[in-house]
Amino acid sequence: MMKVLLADEYGFCFGVERAVEMVEEAVAAGETVRSLGPLIHNKQEMQRLAHEGVTAISEPVQIRRGETAVIRAHGVTPGVQQELEEKASKVVDATCPFVTRVQRLASRAAAKGRHVIVVGNPDHPEMIGVKGYAPDHAFVIRDETEVPDLPQLNKPLVVSQTTIKLKTFFDTAEAVKTKTDDEVEIVNTICSATRDRQEAARALSGMVDAFYIIGGRHSSNSVKLLAVCKEQCEKSFLIETEEEINDADLAGVKQVGVTAGASTPEWLIQRVVNHLESLGNSQALKP
């Protein structure tokens, strides 16, 4: 008999769950729903939504009157939002409230003529959106090594992309102090979803003989979860669906852990858990 144990925190983060629910509501109301960019970084969930008629567009210009445009959890620039509002019949703004907070902080500081340093990946959609709220005052930098390239700063505010590492944020914020004679305001806007999932996985990985992390191979938070689990549980595997489970890996396993990245839907997680439980009840896993 093999026991299946779920990590205390796993799967959809608050912002992604909220975005999917908002889309489901629009679909249920009979609207033609089109999201600007893929709503979620999970192939299986995107396929399920496509089945319900939800499609993705890459540019606001592709939206038509009569359609509902969805802004995903990463948010967009005010300019893009305005374009969608002009073109679509309705706009569902599913920007995660944690991202909205960063946008507002940047916008308010810029309105006072202050500089805004955002620590994050300048190519990430969330950062492109935030920069749009303070176009002439914000600098998006990856880490402290980019601080020397900044100009002299006026009353800088330092905020962060929601998913970066705490150490990167504080090291960069500290380095920013060398670029101003003013006081530096540091507001930590990192969301705890990624860290919470990693800590829960770490806690469980010491108690199990095998671990399955459900998530896309290109999902960075799923890949990080795999690395965390491997520290204490050598038999840790990143899978997209239950079909990738190899029974031979579970021979002699008494306890198996399960977690999932922030874009992995509950229905997919349940399928994996059910599959593992049925394997655990069968004779196939006897060593």
Q: Would you name the residues annotated as active-site residues? A: 126
225 counts as binding ligand SF4 under rule CB under 6 A? no
User: Using CB under 6 A, which residues numbered 250 to 279 contact ligand SF4?
Assistant: 262
Distance separating alpha carbons of residues 188 and 181, to the nearest angstrom: 21
13 counts as binding ligand SF4 under rule CB under 6 A? yes
Distance separating alpha carbons of residues 105 and 75, to the nearest angstrom: 14
In terms of CB distance, is 5 or 128 closer to ligand SF4? 128
Among 40, 54, 96, 140, binds ligand SF4 (CB under 6 A): 96
Q: State the minimum distance, in angstroms, from the CB of residue 162 to ligand SF4.
A: 4
Distance separating alpha carbons of residues 89 and 109, to the nearest angstrom: 33
14 counts as binding ligand SF4 under rule CB under 6 A? yes
In terms of CB distance, is 193 or 272 closer to ligand SF4? 193
Which residue intervals of the chain are DSSP H helices? 14-28, 43-51, 78-87, 97-111, 125-131, 166-176, 193-205, 220-232, 266-281
Angstrom CA distances, 227 to 53, 79, 209, stand at 36, 39, 16
Among 2, 73, 210, 229, binds ligand SF4 (CB under 6 A): 73
193 counts as binding ligand SF4 under rule CB under 6 A? yes
Distance separating alpha carbons of residues 48 and 44, to the nearest angstrom: 6
99 counts as binding ligand SF4 under rule CB under 6 A? yes
184 counts as binding ligand SF4 under rule CB under 6 A? no
Q: State the minimum distance, in angstroms, from the CB of residue 98 to ligand SF4.
A: 4
Would you call 16 exposed, middle or buried from its count of C-beta atoms within 10 A (0-12, 13-18, 19+)? buried
User: Using CB under 6 A, which residues numbered 117 to 176 contact ligand SF4?
Assistant: 162-163
Provide the phi-psi class of 102: left if phi over 0, else alpha when psi is between -120 and 50, else beta: alpha
Binding site for ligand SF4 (CB under 6 A): 13-16, 73, 96, 98-99, 162-163, 191, 193, 262
